[in-house]
Amino acid sequence: MARADPLLACGAIAGPLFVLTFSIDGATRTDYNPLRHPVSSLVLGDVGWIQVVNFLAAGALGVAFALGLRRALRPFGGSTWGPLLVGTWATGLFGAGVFVTDPVSGYPLGTPGKLTRYASTHAALHDGVSFVAFMALAAACFVFARRFAGWGRPAWAIYSAATGIVFTVAFALSNLGFDQTEGLVSLGGLFQRIAITVAWCWLSLLALHLLRHDAPRQSTGGRPGAVNAS
């Protein structure tokens, strides 16, 4: 039975809105290369407010989704850590919007590939909250993989685990690129976009799954009342 839950719906729209906004914004920036430069660099420049608003909107929608997750899964047990980690990810997006990053990989034009130290406390906080947010979302994927396995939904367990692995590897490669590691500098932005898109796709599909189906119940080993492992 479908759930008419606006909080879960927030999770379905947050990812597509966030990715579409930074993709269009990046395509219109002079000297900005999406393959090389991070999404956070879009907060720099005269129209940086667009990405700031994008971060804040995604954060608000993500927090709402985390609350919806908690409410939808509460009756079925084992639902605390997953929503909490998703909420941490969303809160980190707020921080990424509030705290402006430093230039990196030569954007804006004329800036060095990597600064030897942070130019401001804001930049240090940006990197700090962003790192925590990324780690929280990776952990959420694995938490839900374990829960879905326990709920008797192997397809979702595998998908969640695979998302966590791809997300973590792509995130690590993007960081190496932004640190100016030879051979990865020109692809740092691409790897970051892979990580972000894969993760948001998982979150959006999770929201849609919960909107279209009853929340998962604990596996009962085939006894009456067990749910379908779809």
Average pLDDT over residues 124-149: 96
- Helical H segments across the chain, by residue range: 6-27, 49-73, 81-98, 121-150, 154-178, 188-212
| Packing angle of the helix pair 81-98, 49-73 (nearest 10 deg) | 170
Rounded distance between C-alpha atoms, residue 71 and residue 183, angstroms: 45
Average pLDDT over residues 89-101: 95
Task: Please say if the pLDDT value at position 157 is more than 60.
Answer: yes
pLDDT tens by residue, 56-94: 999 999 999 999 999 888 776 656 899 999 999 999 999
pLDDT of residue 80: 86
- The set of residues, in sequence order, having a beta carbon less than 8 Å from that of 223 and lying 6+ positions away, is none
Rounded distance between C-alpha atoms, residue 185 and residue 113, angstroms: 9
Residue with tokens 């600064």: 115
